[in-house]
């Protein structure tokens, strides 16, 4: 991180202000802490620091990773459309949880591959297996069997041991997700290609 | 403190700075007037910087940025302000047989709008046998089996061969009431005409485009236009055809532009997902609503009233079947069973589709059903609407534009025939009030406006409108004096029934 974004002390601001005064007889006391000139500069420096600190904090808040300000977090949420039908904005969520929601939504932008989808699941603490319809529509059959013809490649079957207690057949069909699972499936539904059928087991 | 911890005024900063300097110097520095003056100048400049910081922070986020900064947020997503677009459509020219109108000929409306022909056209003699001619009162209706390509205000040469002969006319100005029907007034025998009837006219149907852009360039069918410069053997007057001149849109306003960017940022966009498709569709000026249907396991069924075979092609009839080309259906219930197939179809028209059969089985009987998944894996079905136009239903030209836009981004593993863009079929919803209080013009106008707004924003393709929802729209209407209506509806009396490929539109409203 460049020095210009670091928080400076009042003394540092005072010294910086003093450095812009000439090194002549009139201003010789500028570096002496007991001099009137230094004290005057220090009084002003407190006000420079107020603004400079805000700029430095703005820099941090412009990134959701380091945002720690309620006003900025609200703008982040509003920018990415939170609350929506997937992500809620309730008083029960901590600042950290709200920040993670924004981060999850930003991560879901531009998801392209099955690996991207798995990574998104990991962000929510879930490990998923994703197969295409082609992989399971032919012998040896897996569960569920999808007897579909040429459309099989446009089917994604999502499963996870994290989705239920057993994680193995017999599966609970239809699967009713809750909590993070529900969030993940809603996300997958919104990011999957529009011509693809998503089946969750 | 205002937003982002910004001091409220220059004085706030001056007072604080004065206090800080006073504390540090035990008040000595402030005894010098020039020091106070200097602090005033510095605090004023500091305040300017606070304001600049406030502005930077506000402009950095879409929800708080000013309209002039919207492009900063939109352009990284390739979302730019939709420009105004010209109107386009067809105009009917009359004149002598064989006369030509060249491309780029200029015509204009009474209001001064200029339109330019997009292609050459030749006036041709048309001699058509109508499907029927009938008279009710003095109104004569002539129906054709195919679109006539005429326009209200146009003069046809003649109708001959009618029995009784009081249906025959020469040089008759017509009104177009449907794409395959014309009307005019002439007293005479009631009922139908018979005979070897010929309707004759000379016309050319030529595509035109407005030379300026904007919604004001859209014109209703039958609008009179005039050639800007005379063309030999071509009538000066020409008329907008039955489809009207459409597609003219104004420059997108900031509210709409901001919403499109917000939608793009708020909805996770992955390649060819719903959010991506909606965003792309709305890059076409005038597209206001996009409804996307993804593959589902839901099966729909339609009844086939009859199947007629020609060689190895079965022509199935099912009124308003709503199917699209390339849909896979499963036919059942037909006898002989050779017609019971899982097959892809080709749509012939709104009531008929075709599929291949093996051999030459006799035309089938039975209770025949076609089952299909409305959207099959691999397909996506996209309904679009233009809520700011007189008719929210897009024309085939507008559908083509959207489809072409999406084809630019079609995934490589997706067949273009599986991209199904459609304009829903309008189902007008009429309203009849048996009681209304206050029964004033202002209240009626307010109710009409509320209902119009509902049918341009809230209703959905393929979804029935609840009677309760429609009543709620009326109940929540306020007239300009702040009054809400007390009313009784004699119709509708129940939820309407909207098919998969249909959408409700506002029909006629009858007040007591």
CB B188 within 8 A of CB B164: yes
Position B106 scores a pLDDT of 97
Q: Which of B61-75, B172-186, B371-385 has the lowest mean pLDDT?
A: B371-385
Of the candidates A107, A109, A121, A104, the one whose C-alpha atom is nearest the C-alpha of residue A158 is A121
The pLDDT of residue A61 is above 50: yes
Locate tokens 């937003």: which residue?
B3
- Mean pLDDT, chain A, rounded, equals 79
Q: List alpha helices for B325-457, DSSP H.
A: 396-407, 441-454
Q: Do A193 and B271 touch (CB under 8 A)?
A: yes
User: A152 or A200: which carries more pLDDT confidence?
Assistant: A200
* pLDDT for position A183: 80
Task: Identify all chain A residues contacting B263, using CB atoms and an 8 Å cutoff.
Answer: 81
Give tens-digit pLDDT for B420-429: 999 999 999 9
**How far away is chain B from the Cα of A69, in angstroms, using its nearest Cα?**
10
In this prediction, residues B158-182 reach a mean pLDDT of 95
State residue A163's pLDDT score.
64
Does the CB of B261 have a partner CB in chain A at under 8 Å?
A: no
CB contact under 8 A, B53 and A51: yes
Residue B32 contacts A, CB cutoff 8 Å: no
Question: Per-residue confidence at B1, pLDDT binned at 50, 70, 90?
Answer: low
Please report the pLDDT score of residue A133 as a whole number.
72
Instruction: For A78-107, give the DSSP string.
Output: HHTT-SSSSS---TTS-HHHHHHHHHHHHH
Least CA distance to B263: which residue of chain A?
A: A81
Of B13, B64, B269, the CB nearest to A47: B13
Query: Band of the pLDDT at A146, cuts 50, 70, 90?
Result: very low
Instruction: Flag whether pLDDT at B440 surpasses 70.
Output: yes
pLDDT, mean of residues B118-140: 96
User: How many Cβ atoms sit within 10 Å of the Cβ of residue A3?
Assistant: 6
Q: How high is the pLDDT of residue B337?
A: 93
Q: Would you list the domain boundaries of chain A?
A: 3-61, 67-109, 112-201
Task: Quickly list H helices, A109-178.
Answer: 114-123, 133-136
Question: Cβ separation of B377 and A196 shorter than 8 Å?
Answer: yes
Per-residue buried b or exposed e for B27-64, using 16+ beta carbons within 10 Å of the residue's own CB: eebbeeeebeeebbebbeebbeebeebbbebbbbbbeb
pLDDT band at residue B153, thresholds of 50, 70 and 90?
Answer: very high
Select the residue of B17, B57, B270 nearest A47 (Cβ to Cβ): B17
Whether residue A105 and residue B268 make contact (CB cut-off 8 A), yes or no, is yes
**B103: number of Cβ within 10 Å:** 12
- Higher-confidence position of A85 and A164: A85
Q: How far is B44 from chain A (nearest CA, A)?
A: 12
Question: Does position B297 have pLDDT exceeding 90, yes or no?
Answer: no
* pLDDT over 80 at B30, yes or no: yes
CB–CB of B405/A180 below 8 Å? no
* Interchain contact, A109 vs B269, CB within 8 Å: yes
Check whether B21 has a pLDDT greater than 90. Answer: yes
What pLDDT score was predicted for residue B500? 80
Is residue B274 within 8 A of residue B91, CB to CB? The reply is no
> Would you kindly state where each structural domain of chain B is located, as residue ranges?
3-60, 86-240, 267-295+379-422, 299-373, 425-510
- Fold that domain B267-295+379-422 belongs to in CATH: GMP Synthetase; Chain A, domain 3 (3.30.300)
Closest CA to B115 of B91, B93, B85, B99: B91
Q: How many residue contacts between A and B have a Cβ separation below 8 Å? A: 142
pLDDT, residue A147, reads 43
Higher per-residue pLDDT: B218 or B267? B218
* Summary mean pLDDT of chain B: 92
On whether any CB of chain A is under 8 Å from the CB of B418, the answer is yes
Q: Which residues on chain B are in Cβ contact (under 8 Å) with A58?
A: 4, 53, 56-57
Neighbours of B172 (CB within 10 A): 20
| Rounded Cα–Cα distance for residues B396 and B89 (Å) | 11
Burial class (CB in 10 A: 0-12, 13-18, 19+), B245: buried
Beta strands in B357-483 (DSSP E): 368-373, 380-385, 419-422, 425-437
Percent of chain B with pLDDT over 70: 99
- The b-or-e profile of A162-193 (16+ CB within 10 A means b, else e) is ebbeeeeeebeeebebeeebebbbebbebbbb
- As a whole number, mean pLDDT of residues A69-73 equals 93
pLDDT tens by residue, B346-391: 888 888 999 989 889 999 999 999 988 778 788 899 999 999 888 8
B378 vs A148: CB contact, 8 Å cut-off?
no
pLDDT at A119: 83
The pLDDT of residue B160 is 96
Residues in B touching A112 (Cβ below 8 Å): 270-271
Place of tokens 């504390």: B23
What's the mean pLDDT in B63-80? Answer: 91
**Class of B299-373 per CATH?**
mainly beta
pLDDT value at residue A86: 81
What pLDDT is recorded for position B176? 95
Q: What is the pLDDT of residue A2?
A: 55
Which pLDDT score is estimated for A167? 36
- Where does the pLDDT of residue B93 fall: very low under 50, low under 70, confident under 90, or very high at 90 and above? very high
Listed by number, the residues of chain B in 351-390 with a beta carbon closer than 8 Å to a beta carbon of chain A are: 376-380
For residue A142, what pLDDT band results from cuts at 50, 70 and 90? very low
Cα gap B272→B410, rounded to integer Å: 7
- Half-sphere exposure of residue B287: CA atoms within 13 angstroms, side-chain side: 27
Residues B487, B474: contact at Cβ < 8 Å? yes
Are B378 and A62 inside 8 Å of each other by CB?
A: no
The dihedral formed by the CA atoms of A63, A67, A73 and A78, expressed in degrees to the nearest 10? 10
Inter-chain residue contact B266 with A80, CB threshold 8 Å: yes
- Model confidence at B65: pLDDT above 90: yes
Least confident residue range of A89-93, B279-283, B306-310: A89-93
């Amino acid at each position: 991180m460049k020095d210009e974004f670091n928080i400076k002390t009042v003394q540092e601001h005072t010294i910086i202000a003093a450095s812009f005064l000439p090194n002549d007889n009139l201003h010789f006391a500028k570096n002496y802490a007991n001099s009137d000139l230094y004290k005057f500069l220090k009084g002003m420096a407190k006000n420079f620091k107020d603004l400079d600190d805000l700029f430095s904090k703005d820099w941090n808040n412009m990134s959701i990773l380091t945002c720690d300000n309620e006003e900025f977090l609200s703008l982040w949420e509003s920018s990415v459309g939170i609350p929506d039908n997937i992500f809620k904005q309730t008083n029960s969520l901590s600042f950290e949880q709200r920040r993670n929601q924004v981060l999850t939504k930003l991560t879901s932008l531009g998801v392209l591959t099955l690996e991207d989808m798995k990574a998104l699941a990991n962000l929510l603490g879930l490990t998923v297996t994703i197969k295409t319809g082609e992989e399971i529509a032919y012998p040896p059959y897996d569960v569920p069997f999808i007897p579909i013809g040429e459309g099989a490649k446009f089917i994604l079957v999502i499963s996870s041991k994290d989705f239920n207690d057993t994680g193995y057949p017999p599966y609970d069909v239809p699967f009713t997700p809750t909590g993070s699972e529900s969030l993940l499936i809603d996300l997958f539904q919104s990011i999957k290609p529009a011509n693809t059928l998503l089946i969750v087991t | 403190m205002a937003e982002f911890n910004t001091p409220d005024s220059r004085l706030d900063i001056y007072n604080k700075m004065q206090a800080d300097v006073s504390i540090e110097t035990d008040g000595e520095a402030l005894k010098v007037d020039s020091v106070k003056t200097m602090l005033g100048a510095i605090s004023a400049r500091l305040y300017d910087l606070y304001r600049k910081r406030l502005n930077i922070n506000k402009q950095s986020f879409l929800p708080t940025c000013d309209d002039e900064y919207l492009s900063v947020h939109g352009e990284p997503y390739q979302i730019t302000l939709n420009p105004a677009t010209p109107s386009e459509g067809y105009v009917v020219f009359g004149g002598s047989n064989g006369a030509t109108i060249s491309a780029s000929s200029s015509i204009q409306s009474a209001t001064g709008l200029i339109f330019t022909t997009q292609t050459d056209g030749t006036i041709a003699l048309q001699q058509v046998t109508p499907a029927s001619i009938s008279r009710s009162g003095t109104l004569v209706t002539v129906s054709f089996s195919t679109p006539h390509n005429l326009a209200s205000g146009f003069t046809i040469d003649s109708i001959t061969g009618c029995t009784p002969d009081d249906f025959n006319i020469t040089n008759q100005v017509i009104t177009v009431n449907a794409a395959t029907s014309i009307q005019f007034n002439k007293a005479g025998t009631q009922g139908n005409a018979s005979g070897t009837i010929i309707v004759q006219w000379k016309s050319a149907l030529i595509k035109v485009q407005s030379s300026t852009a904007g919604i004001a360039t859209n014109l209703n069918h039958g609008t009179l236009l005039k050639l800007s410069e005379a063309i030999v053997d071509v009538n000066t007057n020409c008329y907008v055809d039955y489809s009207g001149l459409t597609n003219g849109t104004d420059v997108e306003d900031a509210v709409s532009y901001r919403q499109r960017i917000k939608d793009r940022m708020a909805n996770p966009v992955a390649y060819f997902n719903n959010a991506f498709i909606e965003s792309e569709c709305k890059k076409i000026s005038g597209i206001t609503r996009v409804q996307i249907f993804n593959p589902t396991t839901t099966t729909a069924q339609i009844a086939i009233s009859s199947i007629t075979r020609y060689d190895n092609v079965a022509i199935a009839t099912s009124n308003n079947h709503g199917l699209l080309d390339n849909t896979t259906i499963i036919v059942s219930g037909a006898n002989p069973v050779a017609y019971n197939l899982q097959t892809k179809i080709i749509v012939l028209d709104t009531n008929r589709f075709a599929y291949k059969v093996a051999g030459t089985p006799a035309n089938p009987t039975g209770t025949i059903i076609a089952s299909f998944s409305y959207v099959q894996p691999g397909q996506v079905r996209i309904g679009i609407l233009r809520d700011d136009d007189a008719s929210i239903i897009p024309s085939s030209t507008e559908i083509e534009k959207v489809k072409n836009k999406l084809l630019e981004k079609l995934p490589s593993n997706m067949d273009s025939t599986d991209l199904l863009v459609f304009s829903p079929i309008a189902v007008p919803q009429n309203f009849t009030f048996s009681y209304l209080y206050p029964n004033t013009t202002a209240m009626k106008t307010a109710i009409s406006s509320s209902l119009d707004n509902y049918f341009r924003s809230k209703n959905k393709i393929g979804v029935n409108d609840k009677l309760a929802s429609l009543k709620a729209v009326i109940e929540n209407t306020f007239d300009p004096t702040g009054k809400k209506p007390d009313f009784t509806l004699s119709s509708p009396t129940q939820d309407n029934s909207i098919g998969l490929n249909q959408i409700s539109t506002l029909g006629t409203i009858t007040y007591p």
